[in-house]
Amino acid sequence: MPNKITKKLKRFACLIAVTAFTASSAYADGVKVGFIGSLSSDAGLSALRGAQIAIDELNAAGGFNGEPIEYVKADTREDVTEGIKAYEYLAESEEVDFILSGSIDDVSLGWLPRMKEFRIPTLDTWTSYIGIIDMVIEDYEGMKTYFMNVASDEALATLYVDFGRDILAKKMGWDSVVILHEDTAFGGAINGLVSELLAPESGIEVLDTIVYDTATVDFSPIFNRAVDTGADFIYLISSVNSQVVSSQYTKLQVPKAMTGVNVAALGQEYWEDTGGEGGGISTLSPVPSVGFALDPASQEFVNTYTAKYGDSRPRFPHFNGFNAYWGIKQAFAAAKDAGGFDPDAWPQEMLKQDIKLEKDGEIWLRYGFWQPGEVEERTGRTYPHNIKFDITPPYDNGAPSMVVIQWYENGETAVIYPPKYATGEFAVPSWVK
C-alpha cells in the first residue's frame, strides 16, 4: 500500500515537474512578434517602426520572461491576397506568437479568417472599419484575439459631424458641398459616411459626387466640374497620391475651400511632397497627428523615433506609429499577466490594459479598450476590443476619435478641432473669396 502511494506521489511530482518545465520552456526560445502591413507606405512604416522601438525597449529591459523578443515582418503591398499570404507566412513559416498589423480595411478583412483559424493574438493599428468591430460582437469566441487600437470609423464620423455642424455650417455658414473622392475602397466607404451622416446631420446638402481615378495627373477638369456645381466647399476623400490633388488645388487656385480626408497631409513630408504648394487645406486625422500638442510620454517616443530614424521618411510617425508603440507595450504587459499569448487567456488581460497619458494635469490620450457589452452613450452601441475613445465634450474620459488639422499656406500646421485640442483656427486659402 505505501508503495502504491509512493508511486502515485512520484507520478504526481513528475507531472508537476513536466508541467512546470513545459510552462517555463514555452518561450524558452524567445517570443516572436510579426508585423503585417505595407513596407512601402509612410503609414505602414510608421507602425513598423513604432513597434520596433517598443520591442527594442522591452528587449533592453530584459525581453519577455528573460528571453529576447524577435521581430519579423511580412509585406502586404496593401494588396488583399498578399495580405492573406503574409498572414499565413507569419503564422506557419515564422510561427509568431503575436501579430501587429498596419493594414488598411480590405487587407485586414482579407486575413481575418486566417486570424480566426490560427487564433493568434492580433492588434490592428490602422484600419478603422466598424464592420470588423461588428464581427467581434457577432462572433466573440472566434474574434476575441482581435484588437483595434484606432477609433473605428463610426466614432470618427460622429466627431466629424460635430466639426461640420460647429465649423463648416455654423461658423462658415456653408450649406452645400461637392464630394470629390478617389476610386478606392477607402474612398467609397468614407463617401458613404459623409453622404449619409455628415451632410444630413450638419444640414449640408451634397450637390454632386465626383469619383476620380487614383492615377489622375490633371485635376483641372475635375476641379472645374466641382466649381460648376456651385457648392460652398469641396469635400476631398483621398488616400492614394493625395499630394497630387492637393498641390494642383493650390497651383490652380481653385476658388472653393477644400476640406475632407487627405491621407498624405497626415505626415510631415506632405509639405515637401507638394513642393510647398499644399497649403490651405484641412483634413481629419486620427490622433496624434501633425500639429497635435503631445503629452510628455508621447514626446519621448517621438524623440526616440527621430533619433533612430533621422531623415528617413516618415520623419515624424503617423498616428499608427504611436498606436503600434503603445500597443506592443500593452500586448506584452497582457502576456506577462496571462503567462504568454494564449488565445484564451491573453485577450482577458489585454482588455484590462489602460494607459492614460496626461498633459497639464488632464487626460490627453488613452490606450484602453471598450469591454464586451459596454455601451458608448452617444452612439448607444458597443465597441468591444476597440480603443476607448471619447466622442463627447469635454473629452475627459479618453482621447477623441479624431482631430481636424489645418495646413496653412506658409507650411505650418495646427489642430483646429475639437476645441480642447485646438492649436489654431480653421482657415480658407487666401484666393478663396
Partner 1 sequence: MTNPTKKYLLLWAIFIAVMLLLPEFVSKGTLRTIIFANFLAIFAISWDVLSGRTGYISFGHPFLIGIGAYTSAILSYRFDMPIELSIPLAVLTTTIGGTLFFLPALRLKGSYFALVTLAFMELMYQLVQVIRPDLTGGTRGMSGIETITRGAVNNYYLSFALMVTIAISMWLLMRTRFGSALSAIGMNEESVRGSGLSTTKLKLAAFMTSAFIAGLGGAFYVHYLGSIAPRALFDINFLFTIIVSALIGGAATIIGPMFGALFLTILLEALRPILPGVERYLIYGSIALIVYMFKPQGLVVLVLDTLDKLRSIISSRS
Chain residues in the site for partner 1 (CB under 8 A): 39-40, 73-75, 77, 79-81, 84-85, 88-89, 92-94, 105-106, 109-114, 116-117, 129, 131, 135, 139, 184-189
Nearer to partner 1, 94 or 269 (CB): 94
DSSP E strands in 233-354: the ranges are 233-238, 257-262, 281-285
Closest contact distance (angstroms) between CB of 37 and partner 1 is 11
CB atoms within 10 A of CB 372: 15
Nearer to partner 1, 289 or 386 (CB): 386
Q: Is the peptide bond before 419 cis (omega within 30 degrees of 0)?
A: no
Closest contact distance (angstroms) between CB of 84 and partner 1 is 6
The DSSP-derived string for 418-429 is SGGG-SS-----
Enumerate residues 6+ apart whose C-beta is below 8 A from 60: none
Closest contact distance (angstroms) between CB of 149 and partner 1 is 20
Nearer to partner 1, 74 or 281 (CB): 74
The Cα 337–Cα 258 span in angstroms is 48
Closest contact distance (angstroms) between CB of 70 and partner 1 is 13
Closest contact distance (angstroms) between CB of 401 and partner 1 is 20
Pairing of the two strands 233-238 and 176-182: parallel
Nearer to partner 1, 241 or 423 (CB): 241
Q: Is the peptide bond before 288 cis (omega within 30 degrees of 0)?
A: yes
The Cα 297–Cα 167 span in angstroms is 31
The residue whose grid cell reads 460622429 is: 158
Nearer to partner 1, 129 or 383 (CB): 129
Nearer to partner 1, 72 or 172 (CB): 72
The C-alpha torsion from 337 through 341 and 343 to 348, rounded to 10°, is 20
Closest contact distance (angstroms) between CB of 272 and partner 1 is 21
